[in-house]
Amino acid sequence: MTAIDSGRLDHARRLAESGDLDGAAAIFAELAADENAQDRGEAGDGLSVVVERMAERLLEDGEPEQAADVLLEALSVSAVADPARLRVLLGLAHLEMACAQFAGAVEDSRQEGADAGTGALAIELLARTLPLRGRDADAETVWRYGLDHPDPALSEQVRLRLGRDVRPAMDGGLSAGDAG
């Protein structure tokens, strides 16, 4: 590693410590993408840490699209550390985007003449996805909305969807010891 690279790595660290995550990520990404850089692995570690923080903040701020963009860009750098963690965060960003789309479809189902089957499906998908994001109370509210919907065809389809078993069929089942 050259003294210039070492200085840039230190600069990226200082930027991250001062809260300039975008600036730090740009430098870490550039250094981690350089296959000839001696401290490429160290830059990949820094990139992973900074991007994880950025993505978590963006998700907290309700910006899953931006979080997904940041994560995809980092995952395109082969030297990025802990890609599994970044992929999990990417999946969470996609879950948030899916919830927004399902909620939009639920809103669209309020229109007169809307297809009851599509509305019921949107309600089910939203209600089953929300708990994956720790939003059990919201899921219950969505189910209740569907069950109490003024369109009897939609509310009946929601009732049927709520009552069906969606657990995967597994040979022999799981015991408490299998869970972890």
38 within 8 A of 57, measured Cβ to Cβ: no
> In the chain, what are the domain boundaries?
1-95, 109-166
Q: Whose CA is closest to 89, among 110, 67, 108, 109? A: 67
Question: What is the reported pLDDT for 139?
Answer: 96
Name 24's Cβ contacts closer than 8 Å, sequence gap at least 6. Answer: 12, 13, 15, 16, 46, 50
Name 74's Cβ contacts closer than 8 Å, sequence gap at least 6. Answer: 25, 29, 47, 48, 51, 80, 86
Rg of the chain over all Cα atoms, to the nearest angstrom: 22
Confidence of residue 1 (pLDDT cuts 50, 70, 90): very low
| CB-based burial label for 47 (10 Å; 0-12, 13-18, 19+) | buried
82-137 pLDDT per residue, tens:
999 999 999 999 999 999 999 999 999 888 888 999 999 999 999 999 999 899 99
Average pLDDT of the chain to the nearest whole number: 90
Q: Whose CA is closest to 158, among 128, 137, 179, 130? A: 128
In this structure, CATH architecture of domain 1-95: Alpha Horseshoe (1.25)
133 within 8 A of 99, measured Cβ to Cβ: yes
